[in-house]
Amino acid sequence: MQDPEGLVGKDIAALADRQPAGIWIASNRGLAWRDPTSGRITPEHLPTAIGAIHCLVVARDGTLWIGSDRGLWSRPAGAAEFAPTPIDLPAGIGPVSVLRLLEDRTGHLWVGTRLQGTFLVAPGAGTAVRLPGSDANLASDTVYALADAGNGEVWIGTYGHGVVRVDLSSGARHRERHDPLRSASLRDDRSQTYDRAAQSRSTEIQPLGVTPPAGVRTSLRSGVRGSARIPAS
């Protein structure tokens, strides 16, 4: 990528498709977009209050969502400015760092945070509310990965607490952890990044940028020692 003016920093935090064309690039120098025809890179004006960007996603309705070290921000399609989206936190907790974002097939935005677990923004809602559940770890998880598994589940990859599989229909959840007695379990409980292969008939979770081989069912990056497979239920 040609960037003679240095508009994009060396530390790339996130990429997302830009509508109607191009790609958003979030880096340590803010937000910019690249034109696919000319290759030109154009910086995007952001409020200084957004802080350092960790993640971004373009929703089906064209809203651009940004997660940063100062919370959750959004700009609806056609709007000129970004605005903060409140996150429903207990009193006394300051700005939460948003590490991962995902829009699922139902249009809900999943918000993964540092040390505060996972939140949801329902379609048309103006506040991110905590993902309900009785698992005490859900309220304190650091979420490094989110993926729609394509089988009616969303997967939440956490640091130190494994992977939580959430059924979109029933809300039921199951936490996968490292099990030294199971060769197919997570190598450890620190899941970092994964993505879903859209062309597969089965559930496939792979490290970002890796094309999954034929026949692989479910795989995710765990810790620093490689990949682990979990049979799809």
**Which pLDDT does position 204 carry in this prediction?**
35
**Which pLDDT does position 1 carry in this prediction?**
64
Kindly state whether residue 163 falls inside one of the protein's structural domains: yes
**How far is residue 126 from each of residues 83, 85, 129, measured CA to CA in Å?**
11, 6, 10
**Which pLDDT does position 93 carry in this prediction?**
83
pTM, full prediction: 0.76
Kindly state whether residue 47 falls inside one of the protein's structural domains: no
Kindly state whether residue 19 falls inside one of the protein's structural domains: no
Task: Write the CATH number for 57.
Answer: 2.130.10.10
HEC profile of the chain: CCCCCCCCCCCEEEEEECCCCCEEEEECCEEEEECCCCCCEEEECCCHHHCCEEEEEECCCCCEEEEECCEEEEECCCCCCCEEECECCCCCCCCCCEEEEEECCCCCEEEEECCCCEEEECCCCCCEEECCCCCHHHHCCCEEEEEECCCCEEEEEEECCCEEEEECCCCCEEEECCCCCCCCCCCCCEECCCEECCCCCCCCEECCCCCCCCCCCCEEEECCCCEEECCCC
Kindly state whether residue 3 falls inside one of the protein's structural domains: no
- In terms of Cβ atoms closer than 10 Å to its own Cβ (0-12, 13-18, 19+), residue 80 is exposed
Length of the chain, in residues: 233
**Which pLDDT does position 214 carry in this prediction?**
39
**Which pLDDT does position 15 carry in this prediction?**
93
pLDDT averaged per 10 residues, the chain (length 233): 72 90 92 91 93 95 96 94 93 89 95 93 94 69 90 88 88 71 48 40 34 36 38 42
Kindly state whether residue 14 falls inside one of the protein's structural domains: no
**Which pLDDT does position 32 carry in this prediction?**
93
**Which pLDDT does position 196 carry in this prediction?**
43
Calculated CA dihedral for residues 44, 48, 52, 55, nearest 10 degrees: -50
**Which pLDDT does position 178 carry in this prediction?**
58
Number of other CB atoms surrounding residue 201 within 10 Å: 7
Domain containing 148: what range? 52-229
What is the domain count for the chain?
Answer: 1
Kindly state whether residue 22 falls inside one of the protein's structural domains: no
Kindly state whether residue 185 falls inside one of the protein's structural domains: yes
Kindly state whether residue 25 falls inside one of the protein's structural domains: no
